[in-house]
Chains A and B, each alone.
Chain A
Amino acid sequence: MSPAPNLLVVRDVCKQFPGVKALDGVELQVRKGEVHALLGENGAGKSTLLKILSGALRADRGEATLDGVMLEPSETPRERQRLGLVTIYQEFNLLPFMSIAENLYLGREPERRGFVDWAAMHDNARALLASLGLNVDPRREVRHLSVAHQQMIEIGRAVAQKAKLIVMDEPTAALGHREVEILHTVIKELKARDVSFIYVTHRLDEVKMVCDSFTVLRDGRYVARDEVSNVEPRDLVRLMVGRDVEFSKRVRTAPLGETVLGVKGVSRARESSGRHAIALKDLSIEVKAGEILGFAGLVGAGRTELARIIFGADHCDRGVLYVDGNELRPLRSPKEAIRAGIALVPEDRKQQGCFLEQSISQNMTLPSLKRIARWGIFVNETKERQLVEKYRTALRIKMANSGVAVGTLSGGNQQKVLLARCMALQPKVLIVDEPTRGIDIGAKAEVHQLLCEMAQSGIALIVISSEMPEVLALSDRIVVFREGCISGLLDARDATENNLMALMAISTAAGLKRSAAP
């Protein structure tokens, strides 16, 4: 491959959010006519970087050139598009009730004497669609199209804008196998016309299939850039989840108790939409009192999906749940799960966990109010204060006073408030999804310490994490997920990053160990 000149060069980009450094000295180079994969786990900084490139966010520092032209930080997304940098997000920016042609040429309609030249617009649209191998009537309304076709329209719009660089954020997350192939064909076709792509994905098989080179980010920092042909999927996984930081390994002193939570044969067909809509196949696990069961696997492999089913937040087609040996139907709501003694700290603190404008004590006691209410109606403020004080001390939460809005706390302290909320429920089973995402290293160690103390007190814990050292340091046993299946169950004493990665990344059924019962 002859080295084509660079189209996009990004240098030393930094971005600080309250409480966390999202990007720290990130670099990125994309050559002309190549598909460049941008890889990294959740929270690695991919989305922040994409937003900075598209003009939706401003970097604190750093510079970028596109085709030799310096990108000014003050540019709006519209101006970036005019320069030839078009971003296609997971949620499409299409107008569903307008025709394909209108969407393709929105804001740039061909005109004749000040009026829209419909004939020209439809002819141009037809030619453009044909060049993408798409045979649809440009007068059809976009809402009638499949997700894959809508995506094609987005790409078509980028082409109509004479895009030099098309940035695609997880373009295949909502596509079926066949549709992915069509997308890849179109990408290759455009590549031949010297259009470049930045391709964000969690599916490593795709990197091999369609990408030429890649950049890996981790914890907001640049990790590596290389040609795809030089590496194996396993290497990519190592680059994405490997850590320089070592967490101290948990030493369990108390013996394990009885099995508290059992999950048998949870299966689900793929749903048509939604973030957690992947198919799950025959998932079974058991967790004992005092045990920490780690869930490892890439995003979308089934770890969060199973947790949400256990907690009643999502539904499954088949499967049985046991709590303390009692069989339960799969739970229909988080309310039932909480009643059964299961608590969850969700993966997305801001969207699913916190009430940012409300006070620390309101956040902390919400699900426990039933227990501290007089006659089930009036909140007993004395008891509430005692509860807040108890868990503030136990979890070492730093705060001015408990009336402060949770949104003003650092990420680490917000996470502690959520943990305190679950602890106040005195659960038998506690599921913590990404316990330390987006919080600082010092706070991470503290959260680990707290999780260990909780296990010590006899709670059965499930810890889900994208960070392998975290899973390895905390867990007694580790369940590895891959593409909706359990690909392995390891004793943490025998587990290493290498054998975890092997189970996360293997691409055939070889070595699949279905049963996860101990």
Chain B
Amino acid sequence: MTEHTLPERGTAGRRFDAVGWLRRYGTSLFLLALIVFFGLENPRFLSLRNVTNILTEVSIYGIIAVGMTFVILTAGVDLAVGSLLAFAGMSGAMVMKTLGADLASGWLVALATAIAVGTLVGYLQGKAVTFFSVPPFIVTLGGMTIWRGATLILNDGSPISGFDASYRWWGTGSIAGVPVPIFIFGMIAAAGVVTERYTRYGRYIYAVGGNPEAARLNGLDVPRIITSVYLVVGALSGLAGFLLSARLGAAEAVGGIGYELRVIASVVIGGTSLAGGRGGIGGTIVGALLIGVLTNGLVIMHVSSYWQQVVIGLIIVAAVAFDSYAKSRR
């Protein structure tokens, strides 16, 4: 055999790689361009009130998108988050009402119930994926209709409303001028980034998504790690369900319809690979903001909501297509 070693590819002395650069920063640039464009089109877009509005809207599904990033990093997907959000929010409101509306800390009961229900349902779905080896797409597609149906059953399809001020505060109040949902989204996103970058658990998620067989041979409990990401996204869906009911002043059976697509789109536009092992929460946040800005901007420009769907769909496909192109080019 001939003596032969390829030089290791270093970073030094490489000429500027436009496609690689775009792949990394393209989404952020596009977001920036959209903000400038909508701002120039209509000054109202950049008003404090509208910006707060966009961010609050983004926060609800952004919280779930943080958890979804973990799920997709393990090469899975969760389609049930929108239905679970409604189910957990409805459960929380019902338990609170049943225990008595004049409870001093009724919101705490509702919040705890919503998160507990979300966690439990997430755990069950994760177990179905790992223990029974049902593909995550199928488990959560089933979950999507199961939990929507269960929500309708809970209160016969009618909304629950009439929350007190302390409950509503979680959706409409603010902490030091920052609306509560945005504040919570910021904390969840920060916790997500810390988990992803600085914890053992974060490393394990990337390992399981990148090469499950190698992960197993490195002593990782692969089924347990996979189950856990569904549990996490379930818990976050529960939290989002509570926040949405507080913001709207009602827990609705139709709450969160279509959220699964917005959440998955945020993650995918943010550059996380559906094949697992590559991507991260930083990108997801940009992706979530991009969808929020686009939806709001198009409304302000009086573009019909029908066209909004077309535009968002095109952007999802374009983002992934560009990513595949950049990857194949290597």
Contact = CB atoms under 8 A, between A and B. Distances in A.
Contacts of A413: 8
Interface in A416-470: 421, 440-443
Contact of A219 (B1, B201, B214): B1
A378 B2 contact: no
Nearest to A339: B219
Interface stretch (A280-288, A318-326, A403-411): A403-411
A334 B218 contact: yes
Interface stretch (B111-119, B145-153, B202-210): B202-210
Contacts of A19: 5-6
A339 B218 CA distance: 11
Interface string A323-355: 000000000011101110000101000011111
Nearest to B3: A442
A21 B213 contact: no
A140 interface: no
A460 B307 CA distance: 68
B5 A410 contact: yes
B10 interface: yes
A412 interface: yes
Interface in B182-204: 198-201, 203-204
Contacts of B203: 362, 366, 369, 379
Nearest to B278: A357
A509 interface: no
Contact of A378 (B198, B204, B215, B277): B198
Interface in B104-149: none
B200 A355 contact: no
A107 interface: no
A209 interface: no
Interface in A272-316: 311, 313
A511 interface: no
A362 B208 CA distance: 13
Interface in B1-59: 1-6, 8-12
**B: contact size bracket:** 20 to 34
B5 A373 contact: no
A112 to B, nearest CB: 40
Contacts of A18: 6
A367 B200 CA distance: 10
B324 interface: no
Contact of B1 (A21, A376, A421): A21
B175 interface: no
B248 to A, nearest CB: 36
- Classify the interface of chain B: helix, strand, loop or mixed: loop
A484 interface: no
Contacts of A412: 5
Contact of B207 (A335, A339, A366, A376): A366
A370 B6 CA distance: 34
Contact of A354 (B1, B5, B9, B214): B214
B133 to A, nearest CB: 15
A399 interface: yes
B220 A358 contact: no
B216 A313 contact: yes
A377 interface: yes
A369 B5 contact: no
Contacts of A355: 206-207, 210-211, 214, 277
A408 B210 CA distance: 15
B1 A358 contact: no
Nearest to B206: A358
B99 to A, nearest CB: 35
Residue from the set B5, B10, B203, B219 with the largest chain A CB neighbour count within 10 Å? B219
Contact of A313 (B1, B10, B217, B221): B217
A233 interface: no
Contacts of B277: 355, 357-358
B214 A410 contact: no
A333 B3 CA distance: 39
B216 A400 contact: no
Contacts of B4: 20-21, 440
Contact of A334 (B206, B210, B216, B278): B216
Contacts of A12: none
Contact of A358 (B200, B201, B207, B219): B207
Contact of B210 (A338, A346, A357, A398): A357
Given A21-B4, A400-B10, A377 B201 contact: yes
A415 to B, nearest CB: 13
Given A355-B277, A400-B8, A373 B214 contact: no
B1 A379 contact: no
A353 B5 contact: no
Nearest to B9: A408
B3 A352 contact: no
A377 B200 contact: yes
Contacts of B204: 366, 369
A470 to B, nearest CB: 13
B219 A398 contact: no
B8 A353 contact: no
B220 to A, nearest CB: 7
Interface string A16-40: 0011110010000000000000000
Contacts of A400: 8-12
B219 A367 contact: yes
A55 interface: no
A376 B3 contact: no
Given A408-B9, A442-B3, 20 more contacts: A24-B1, A219-B1, A220-B1, A313-B216, A335-B220, A338-B219, A339-B219, A352-B217, A355-B210, A355-B211, A355-B277, A357-B278, A358-B207, A358-B277, A366-B204, A366-B207, A366-B220, A367-B218, A400-B9, A412-B5
5 contacts: A24-B1, A220-B1, A366-B215, A404-B8, A440-B5
Interface of B: 1-6, 8-12, 198-201, 203-204, 206-207, 210-211, 213-221, 277-278
The 10 closest A-B pairs by CB, nearest first: A400-B10, A338-B219, A335-B219, A355-B210, A367-B218, A369-B200, A408-B9, A373-B200, A334-B219, A441-B1
